[in-house]
Structure 1
Amino acid sequence: MSGNKVLAIILGGGQGSRLHPLTQSRSKPAVPIAGKYRLVDIPISNCINSNIKRMFVLTQFNSASLNRHIKNTYHFSFFSSAFVDVLAAEQTPGNQGWFQGTADAVRQSMHHFKELDYDYMLILSGDQLYQMDFNVMVKAHIKAKAAISIATIPVNAKDATSFGILKTNDKNEITSFIEKPETNLLPEWSSEVSDEMKSEGRNYLASMGIYIFNRKLLEDLMEDDSTIDFGKEIIPQNIEKQKVVSHQFEGYWTDIGNIDSFFEANLGLTDDFPKFDLYSKERRIYTRARMLPTTKVSGTNLDKTVIAEGCIINAGKIEHSVIGIRSKIDSESTVINTYMMGSDYYQALEEILDDKIVSMGIGKRCFIKNAILDKNCCVGDDVRINGGKHLEDQETDTYAIRDGIVVIKKGAVIPNGFII
């Protein structure tokens, strides 16, 4: 099926306050994941793999690094109609404000889409980790003669209370919707799912925040500026008026909503068979092609660790950790259960050799556990960071603690001998 009928919109999300401090100086889609990618690479790669080559990313907070990443990464042939464009919230004569919600973001940007030739709009979230062939969903949408399709994932009772839950009939049409139901309401909200999902107790269909709209319907809905959100207003309001169909997805999918889920998703990549498969030939994840040297490791005991390119590692031991691009870890240091994002550039040799300067990366004889080190961190010698549930949430200029995870802020300098 030709991807030319489909226009993809990737929603960059709001201020990303639940991912703070990782979103202090960048928008949520620009947050680095897996040591070398950014969150926005996931929906963009899913689109490219599904032959959907026209994408807009809608964002409004701290979009400079996102713009730079997209401009440096996604170059298509001069002769193709493919593009990835970032649209930031803009003040226009008709509108003075920021995007108020997901639907409002699309409404405010509609004038950019109207000139384009498309039949279906695919609406995606910029902060989810999954691999999905959207062609299958588009074909099912067309075949069912649906007005709106919603990607759904079966979840168990424990998770169901934190999602929008949909109920379907025997034709796969969505008949009702409830936002974050109370546990006592769940028995009446189960839907028909596959036997495998039933055996795992996943009997409830959660909305994944992935939608397909027919163009005419979307344009009509956008005329009404009282609705600001797809999940909370537009979907519930149209279930009885339009044919809304569920597209059930049973692969790995996680919503990177907070520091805890972000941390877990990254460290999950160190498993022997990670649920999110970066090694798939058909479902490649694309990112900026950096011309980095190979990683150099000396005298380090490595276990269940993912290391990106361009690193210099002399650590004593690294286990169950993700080490990002251009990371430097000095001798006799131990790193456990940690996501180190790496650096944007290499430091000059004279700075590294100057004892008065805390150089980038992790110094000598450090112990780092249950932590996230944002980009360009400078951690001195003999630093001890021992994250865990024994620590209370707090924030300083250089670090924050969220759910027991110590997050060292971007560019922070942690002096020699510092202890958390």
Structure 2
Amino acid sequence: MYDLNRNEVPGSTVRDRFYWRDVGTIDSFFDAHQDLISALPIFNLYNEQWPIFSSQLNSPPAKFVRDSRGALGEVIDSIVSLGCVVSGAHLERSVLGTWVSIESGAVVTDTVVFERSQIGEGAIVRRAILDKGVVVSPGATVGVDREADLARGFTVTQSGITVVGKGILVE
């Protein structure tokens, strides 16, 4: 058993020294990601004295661009990984894995999106976890209508988090 009381983390504070979070349920996994995007997360990804060593991808930086009509996208309180492109869309309180694209007019809030997923033009995704390679078609919704999500075979927790499995096409 690991003894957190003996854990010495350079650069930590009293608040984050003994950080531990169980992510064994969908809700706790979601909550851990929501904590990461808070203004002062308990688990500090930016502690330069105790760096996080993750895989180094040969990928371009994330890009936030106007869409073809010149509409601005906006990203608020989110973490966006390498290779992502947000084009004229609204992204808020969300975490994007690598190579995610969000197209014009899409609205993505309170969501965790795994790598290489695509969210089409005008789609709406709320309180969701999208696994790798999910494609949300233009105009489709996830997390908006619980009964529709259940009818499509998605998992929806009691707290309302919708989970879409790997490689699923959402129409």
TM-score bin, normalised by smaller chain: 0.7 to 0.9
Please tell me whether residue 261 in structure 1 is matched to residue 53 in structure 2.
no
Larger Rg: 1
SS in 2 for 1:255: coil
Which has the larger share of helix?
1
Amino acid at match of 1:341: F
Please tell me whether residue 366 in structure 1 is matched to residue 110 in structure 2.
no
Please tell me whether residue 304 in structure 1 is matched to residue 71 in structure 2.
no
The TM-score, its normalising length taken from structure 2, stands at: 0.81
Amino acid at match of 2:87: N
Q: How does 1:204-243 map to 2 (within 5 A)?
A: none
Amino acid at match of 1:380: S
TM-superposed CA distance for 1:363, in Å, is 0.5
Amino acid at match of 2:102: I
Contact 1:335 1:367 in 2 (8 A): yes
After superposition, what is the alpha-carbon deviation per residue over 1:196-224, rounded to whole angstroms, capped at 9, x for unaligned? 99xxxxxxxxxxxxxxxxxxxxxxxxxxx
Contact 1:303 1:318 in 2 (8 A): yes
Structure 1 residues 327 and 133: alpha-carbon distance in aligned structure 2, compared to 1, 3 A threshold: farther
The TM-score, its normalising length taken from structure 1, stands at: 0.35
Amino acid at match of 2:105: E
Contact 1:391 1:401 in 2 (8 A): no
After superposition, what is the alpha-carbon deviation per residue over 1:139-198, rounded to whole angstroms, capped at 9, x for unaligned? xxxxxxxxxxxxxxxxxxxxxxxxxxxxxxxxxxxxxxxxxxxxxxxxxxxxxxxxx99x
SS in 2 for 1:271: coil
After superposition, what is the alpha-carbon deviation per residue over 1:266-315, rounded to whole angstroms, capped at 9, x for unaligned? 12111111111000112222121111111111121121111011111114
CA distance in 1, matches of 2:85, 2:149: 32
TM-superposed CA distance for 1:402, in Å, is 1.9
Structure 1 residues 391 and 276: alpha-carbon distance in aligned structure 2, compared to 1, 3 A threshold: farther
SS in 1 for 2:129: strand
Please tell me whether residue 337 in structure 1 is matched to residue 120 in structure 2.
no
Contact 2:76 2:92 in 1 (8 A): yes
CA distance in 1, matches of 2:54, 2:151: 32
SS in 2 for 1:370: strand
After superposition, what is the alpha-carbon deviation per residue over 1:336-388, rounded to whole angstroms, capped at 9, x for unaligned? 11111122xxxxxxxxxxxxxxxx50000011111011111111100122358
Structure 1 residues 320 and 370: alpha-carbon distance in aligned structure 2, compared to 1, 3 A threshold: same
Please tell me whether residue 320 in structure 1 is matched to residue 81 in structure 2.
no
Structure 1 residues 258 and 370: alpha-carbon distance in aligned structure 2, compared to 1, 3 A threshold: same
Structure 2 gap segments, 5+ residues each? 9-13, 66-71
Structure 1 gap segments, 5+ residues each? 1-122, 125-131, 137-195, 198-248, 344-359, 416-420
CA distance in 2, matches of 1:266, 1:336: 13
SS in 2 for 1:253: coil
TM-superposed CA distance for 1:328, in Å, is 0.6
TM-superposed CA distance for 1:252, in Å, is 2.3
Moved over 4 A (4+): 132-136, 390-397
User: Percent sequence identity over matched residues?
Assistant: 27
Contact 1:387 1:405 in 2 (8 A): no
